[in-house]
Amino acid sequence: MQQDKHQYHPQQGQSRPQHWFRKGAAAAWPICLGYLPVGLACGALAQQAGLPFWAVGLMSILVFAGSAQFIAISMLASGASPVSIILTTLIVNLRHTLMSSTLAIYLQGVNRCFLSLFAYGITDESFAVNMTRFRTGEWNRWQALTVNHLSNSVWVTATTCGALVGQLIPEGALGMDYAMTGMFISLLTFQLQNRIFILTGLMAGLISIAAYLLIPGDSYIIIASVGGATLGYIIKRRSRKKT
Amino acid sequence: MSFFDYLLLFSGMGLVTYLPRWLPLFYLAHRRLPQWLIDWLSLIPVAILSALLAPSLFSDAHPRCLHWGKLELLVAIPTLIFSLKSRSMGATVLVGMFLYWLGGLFL
**pLDDT tens sequence across A127-159:** 989 998 998 888 999 999 999 999 999 999 999
Which residue of B lies nearest to A193 if distances are taken between CA atoms? B46
pLDDT of residue B58: 95
Q: Taking 50 as the threshold, does the pLDDT of residue A2 lie above it?
A: no
Contacts of A157 (CB under 8 A, 6+ apart): A39
**Cis peptide bond prior to B63, omega within 30° of 0:** yes
CA distance to partner chain B, nearest, from residue A19 (Å): 19
When pLDDT is cut at 50, 70 and 90, the band that residue A39 belongs to is: confident
Contact in structure between A163 and A47 (CB atoms under 8 Å): yes
Name the DSSP letter for residue B33: P
Check B44 against A98: CB less than 8 A apart: yes
At B46-95, the pLDDT tens digits run 998 899 899 999 999 888 899 888 999 999 999 999 999 987 777 888 89
DSSP 3-state of A117? helix
More confident residue, A88 or B73: B73
Give B18's contacts in chain A (Cβ within 8 Å). 119-120
Q: Which residues pair with B66 in a beta bridge?
A: B59
**Phi, psi dihedrals of residue B65, rounded to the nearest 5°:** -160, 160
Check B93 against A97: CB less than 8 A apart: no
Q: Taking 70 as the threshold, does the pLDDT of residue B98 lie above it?
A: yes
Neighbours of A3 (CB within 10 A): 8
CA distance to partner chain B, nearest, from residue A50 (Å): 10
| Residue B47 touches chain A, beta carbons under 8 Å | yes
Q: What percent of chain B is predicted at pLDDT more than 90?
A: 54
Residues 55-94 of chain B with CB under 8 A from chain A are 55-59, 64-66, 72, 75-76, 79-80, 83-84, 87-90, 92-94
| Residue (of A118, A90, A93) closest to A6 by Cα position | A118
At residue A153, what is the residue type? S
At A173-228, the pLDDT tens digits run 667 778 778 878 988 998 888 999 999 999 999 999 999 999 988 778 889 989 99
More confident residue, A225 or A88: A225
When pLDDT is cut at 50, 70 and 90, the band that residue A98 belongs to is: confident
Check A104 against B49: CB less than 8 A apart: no
Rounded Cα distance between A26 and A163, Å, is: 28
| Residue (of A152, A161, A149, A170) closest to A66 by Cα position | A152
Rounded Cα distance between A229 and A93, Å, is: 19
Contact in structure between A123 and A151 (CB atoms under 8 Å): yes
When pLDDT is cut at 50, 70 and 90, the band that residue A5 belongs to is: very low
Q: Taking 80 as the threshold, does the pLDDT of residue A58 lie above it?
A: yes
Contact in structure between B8 and A86 (CB atoms under 8 Å): no
Name the DSSP letter for residue B32: P
Contact in structure between A118 and A107 (CB atoms under 8 Å): yes
At residue A128, what is the residue type? A
Check A132 against B45: CB less than 8 A apart: yes
Number of alpha carbons in the 13 Å side-chain half-sphere of residue B28: 23
At residue A193, what is the residue type? Q
At residue A218, what is the residue type? D
b/e code A37-58 from CB counts within 10 Å (16+ = b): bbbbbbbbbbbebebebebbbb
CA distance to partner chain B, nearest, from residue A100 (Å): 5
Give A212's contacts in chain B (Cβ within 8 Å). 54-55, 59, 64
Which of B12, B20, B49 lies closest to A100 in CB terms?
B20
Integer CA distances (angstroms), A34 to A31, A145, B87, in order: 5, 18, 18
Rounded Cα distance between A223 and A73, Å, is: 25
Check B43 against A103: CB less than 8 A apart: no
Check B6 against A132: CB less than 8 A apart: no
Which residue of A lies nearest to B34 if distances are taken between CA atoms? A105
- Rounded to the nearest 5 degrees, what angle is found at the Cα of A92, between the Cα atoms of A90 and B71? 165
Contact in structure between A212 and B56 (CB atoms under 8 Å): no
Give B76's contacts in chain A (Cβ within 8 Å). 181, 185
Rounded Cα distance between B2 and B54, Å, is: 40
Structural domain spans, chain B: 1-31
Estimate to the nearest angstrom the gap between the alpha carbon of B50 and the chain centroid.
8
| Residue B35 touches chain A, beta carbons under 8 Å | no
